[in-house]
């Protein structure tokens, strides 16, 4: 129930932002996106891109479904700490190398209808409010 209330509150704020910027800015959003219905609501509200992070790592099938359903509007966000993929708001470190997983997604998930963009965030620097490092990006 708490997650549902948070999503509803976030959606209200997102709709206000989208109304304020109009179609002049391509707005993207990520964080806590775990189902196709949420993606559809955000895109219908006017978002240009939806970033899928932890859900892509934990459930690649969901990422595939999102790319199929909403091609051209999906971005994969991989957070990295010491070269490893971090999930759950940077709180858990996986065994996946960020570059290797990014390449795997690129070769197994992307289809012509989806957009091959990934965002790599260096957690150790971002969490200290420091400028980004020269981490791998595409």
Q: What is the pTM of this model?
A: 0.77
What digits encode the pLDDT tens for the residues 60-75? 899 989 988 998 899 8
CA–CA distance, 63 with 35 (Å, rounded to integer): 9
What digits encode the pLDDT tens for the residues 12-36? 888 899 999 988 889 999 888 999 9
What digits encode the pLDDT tens for the residues 72-114? 899 888 888 888 999 998 889 999 998 899 888 877 665 544 5
CATH placement of domain 2-126: 3.20.20.70
H helical segments located in the chain: 2-21, 36-45, 54-58, 60-69, 98-108, 123-126
Helix 36-45 vs helix 2-21: angle between axes, to the nearest 10 degrees?
20
């Amino acid at each position: 129930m708490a997650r549902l209330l948070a999503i509803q509150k976030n959606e209200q704020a997102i709709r206000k932002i989208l109304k304020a910027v109009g179609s002049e800015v391509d707005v993207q959003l990520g964080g806590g996106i775990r189902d196709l219905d949420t993606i559809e609501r955000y895109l219908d509200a006017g978002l240009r891109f939806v970033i899928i992070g932890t859900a892509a790592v934990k459930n690649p099938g969901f990422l595939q479904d999102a790319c199929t359903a909403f091609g051209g509007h999906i971005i994969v966000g991989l957070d990295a700490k010491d070269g490893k993929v971090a999930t759950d708001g940077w709180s858990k470190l996986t065994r996946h190398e960020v570059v290797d997983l990014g390449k795997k997604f690129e070769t197994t998930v992307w289809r012509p209808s989806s957009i091959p963009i990934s965002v790599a965030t260096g957690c150790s620097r971002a969490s200290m409010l420091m400028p980004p490092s020269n981490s791998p990006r595409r």
